[in-house]
Amino acid sequence: MRFVTRDTDYALRALIYMAKLKGRTATVDEIASKGKLPKVFLRRILQKLAGEKMLSSRKGKTGGFTFLLKPGDIKVTDIMRVFQGDIDLTNCLLKGKACPNKGVCSLRKKIKSINSTVIKELDKITIKSLAG
């Protein structure tokens, strides 16, 4: 069970590192070597976050990445959604079709409520709180 994928994990590590720089721009190279993350992979991750308007990026010499949103405004769930899609523990196999099995459906309802709880808890956690 992969609740947090590698992308998300790397992204969080990178963002936590960056949050400690107080606005200073950092290059992929710096973040990768300091955080012991695979460079090329990390690069794609940061590019993605830039595309999502969470980070701003700058090309060329003196380029790099920095926050566009405030670390306190970026939730763990935001990052998970970027790299893993919606957080949904209830992946019913019969999407759309009527379920022939009320038992399974009642289980699904239960898991749905568990899912809400999980999201509510994760929503409380921001990059800032993890970096602090």
Partner DNA sequence: CTAAATGATATCATCTTAGTATCATTTAGA
Partner DNA sequence: TCTAAATGATACTAAGATGATATCATTTAG
Minimum Å distance from CB 16 to a second copy? 4
Minimum Å distance from CB 125 to DNA? 20
Interacting residues with a second copy between 31 and 60 (CB under 8 A): 35-36
The Cβ of residue 61 has, within 10 Å, a number of other Cβ atoms equal to 5
Q: Does 6 bind a second copy (CB under 8 A)?
A: yes
User: Of 44, 58, 72, 101, which lies in the binding site for a second copy, with binding defined by CB under 8 A?
Assistant: 101
Minimum Å distance from CB 24 to a second copy? 18
65 forms beta bridges with: 26, 57
Which range binds a second copy by CB under 8 A, 24-32, 41-49, 59-67, 101-109?
101-109
Q: Does 98 bind a second copy (CB under 8 A)?
A: no
Nearer to a second copy, 58 or 124 (CB): 124
Interacting residues with a second copy between 112 and 131 (CB under 8 A): 114, 117-118, 121-122, 125, 130-131
CA gap 103, 20 in Å, rounded: 49
| Tokens (6 digits) for 118 | 């999980």
User: Of 16, 21, 68, 69, which lies in the binding site for a second copy, with binding defined by CB under 8 A?
Assistant: 16
Total number of residues shown for the chain: 132
Cα-based angle 59, 127, 83 (whole degrees, multiple of 5): 65
CA gap 127, 131 in Å, rounded: 6
CB 54 within 8 A of CB 44: no
